[in-house]
Structure 1
Amino acid sequence: MQAKGIAAFSAKQPLAPYSFERRDPKEHDVVIDIQFCGICHSDIHQARDEWGGSMFPMVPGHEIAGVVRAVGTKVSKYKVGDHVGIGCFVDSCRECAHCKEQLDQYCLEGNTPTYNGKERDGSAVTQGGYSNVIVADENYVLKIPKSIPLDKAAPLLCAGVTLYSPLTHWKAGPGKKVAIMGLGGLGHMGVKIAKALGAEVSVLSHSEKKRDDAMKMGADKFISTHDKENFKKYANYFDLIINTVSSADIEMHNYFGLLKLDATLVSVGAPDKPLSISPFPLIMMRRNYAGSVIGSIKETQEMLDFCAKHNITPEIEVIAPDQINIAYERVLKSDVRYRFVMDMAKI
């Protein structure tokens, strides 16, 4: 199946138009006309081979929202015209303990990334949502509630579930004090979701200019990390902190000190260099430092339904595909409020 996309041809070249072939639909496959695709910081990391192992040419994009064009003969979950999405992976082994527990993001055999991965049979490299059409197994396709506009649904498929999963796993809710480190594409979703879960929500940010935005999104507190006195003022205060920051230049011991006894700091941001961590703030209060990656297919559907119920959508700026390279540079400068979404109908 012929497809049009925007691809990285090497780590050093700007992204450019690319024509390529999608696989022929199988009996359990859904063919999706892509309407919108969000831009995730991890797209930039992989397009520029900052994590290593990038395969070129690469069509990035794993925040995909669109409309079903066709379905395979044995598809039971979707019909032509349905609003659907695809997130960060399009397959998994389906047989390991984690997959059987519906934790397929942690597939022990490794899930199949939506792009920059290999199909499970090794036949082809996967290509993502910076394109006009995609083919995927129905079991890895999400139903987007009609109350969520497709442009605003796209970032939920990565940014939304990346925050929903740890917030629900560590039981953010009434009576819990939750902090979100960073107010960007991930962080702003964390504020909205944590608030809807019923938690007291604080934003930890060095950017004072985002204070008003944080409060409008539902934050109860905005805590400036430039003011070092705040690390004393809020010592032993939080039940849960979610770190959405991708920079490795963070003095993590300061943030560990904000945790209560037995509380947890979870990193979901992915820096391209190792963090420097001292164990002593963890040891002294039996604190925990954890990680979390995206969410399962089950969690992602739960998140979409939760967002529809609570009228939660991301703050977005819609761009045309020919603006992609400018958008990448703006992401790196934190010059977006708060997620770019490409209108793939204009490709």
Structure 2
Amino acid sequence: MRAGQKVGIIGLGGLGQMGTRIAVLQGASVFVAEKKEQIWPLAKELGADGVAGDIAAFAGEQLDVIIDFAGFGTTTAAAIETVRDFGTVVQVGMGRLSAELPTGTLVFKQVTLVGSRSGTVGNIAAVYDLFATGDLTAKISPITFEEIPDALERLRKGDVDGRFVAVYP
């Protein structure tokens, strides 16, 4: 993404929070879709220009890029429907491992759909630089190894705000 672009973020979990903040720091206008209304204020704190329960709420914004950190199939389909003509949808989340996509929209709008599991070495170095300056922080919850099963259950239920980090005692 580049300064001046309009970026959509789907899912304000741990990665979505970082993606939102990085996009803001890069000079993008950011619009967040998050089902859990109780964390909508966090999107604003991170610098988002708008937040709603569904990315389709931002269809009029002509989003250049939408990054789907949720990946529930329906979220990916909504991203394809919402992104501007010739826009890009980046699939990161894997809430479901398959999806039914609106191929007519994909073709007629000439949307680029890209999967991503990580960035380049340069991308990662740039993120570390943002951490070093304090412009980017990660919301983490330290847990012990014994707490991992409970943490996984909380993740499954969608009852997590940020990232779990297992620590040695």
- The Cα of 1:272 is off from its aligned counterpart by 4.5
Does 2:105 align with 1:276? Answer: no
- Separation in 1, partners of 2:45, 2:86: 31
1:292 shift after superposition: 1.3
Cα distance change, pair 235–255 in 1 and its aligned pair in 2 (3 A)? farther
Q: Is the 8 A contact 2:10 2:75 kept in 1?
A: no
1:235, 1:259 within 8 Å by CA — same for their partners in 2? no
* Structure number having the greater helix percentage: 2
Displacement after TM superposition at 1:254 (Å)? 2.9
What is the RMSD computed on CA atoms of the aligned residues? 2.0
| Cα distance change on mapping 1:236 and 1:261 into 2, 3 Å | farther
Counterpart position of 1:208: 37
Residue 49 of structure 2 is aligned with which of 211, 216, 220?
Answer: 220
Deviation at 1:232, TM superposition (A): 6.5
**Alpha-carbon contact 1:202-1:220 (below 8 Å) kept:** yes
Work out whether residues 59 and 82 of structure 2, in 8 Å CA contact, stay in contact via their aligned partners in 1. yes
Shift of 1:233: 5.7
How many angstroms apart in 2 are the aligned matches of 1:295 and 1:209? 30
2: CA distance between counterparts of 1:207 and 1:185?
14
| Aligned counterparts of 1:288 and 1:308: Cα–Cα separation in 2 | 33
Change in CA separation of 1:285 and 1:247 when aligned onto 2, cut-off 3 Å: closer
Amino acid at match of 2:19: G
Which runs of 5 or more residues in structure 1 are unaligned? 1-171
* Aligned twin of 2:87: 263
> What count of residue pairs does the alignment treat as equivalent?
169
**How far does the alpha carbon of each residue in 1:14-59 deviate from its partner, in whole angstroms, 9 at most, with x for none?**
xxxxxxxxxxxxxxxxxxxxxxxxxxxxxxxxxxxxxxxxxxxxxx
Please list, as runs of the form range in 1=range in 2, the aligned pairs for 1:246-325 lying within 5 A after superposition.
Answer: 246-248=71-73, 250=74, 252-325=76-149
In structure 1, the partner of 2:7 is 178
CA distance in 2, matches of 1:253, 1:322: 38
Cα separation, 1, equivalents of 2:94 and 2:6: 24
**Is the counterpart of residue 237 in structure 1 residue 59 in structure 2?**
no
Distance 1:232 1:182 in 2: 14
Amino-acid identity (%):
29
- The 3 A distance-change label for structure 1 pair 241 and 322 is same
Structure 2: any 5+ residue segments left out of the alignment?
none
Is contact 1:236–1:257 with CA below 8 Å preserved after alignment?
A: no
In the alignment, the residues of structure 2 paired with residue 279 and residue 243 of structure 1 have an alpha-carbon distance, to the nearest angstrom, of 17
Q: In the alignment, which residue of structure 2 is the partner of 1:108?
A: none
2:44 match: secondary structure: helix
Point out the structure with max Rg over C-alpha: 1
1:187 equivalent to 2:16? Answer yes
- 1:50-89 matched pairs, under 5 angstroms: none
Aligned counterparts of 1:255 and 1:185: Cα–Cα separation in 2: 20
For 2:105 and 2:61, the matched residues in 1 are separated by: 11
Instruction: Report the alpha carbon displacement of residue 289 of structure 1 after superposing the two structures with TM.
Output: 1.2
Q: Distance in 2 between matches of 1:335 and 1:274?
A: 23
> What TM-score comes out, normalization by structure 1 length?
0.45
Task: Tell me: CA distance 1:222–1:233, structure 2 relative to 1, closer, same or farther (3 Å).
Answer: closer
Structure 1 residues 87-236: aligned runs within 5 Å: 172-225=1-54, 231=56, 234-235=59-60
TM-score, normalising length from structure 2?
0.89
The answer to whether the 8 A contact 1:317-1:339 is kept is yes
Structure 1 distance, partners of 2:66, 2:57, is 16
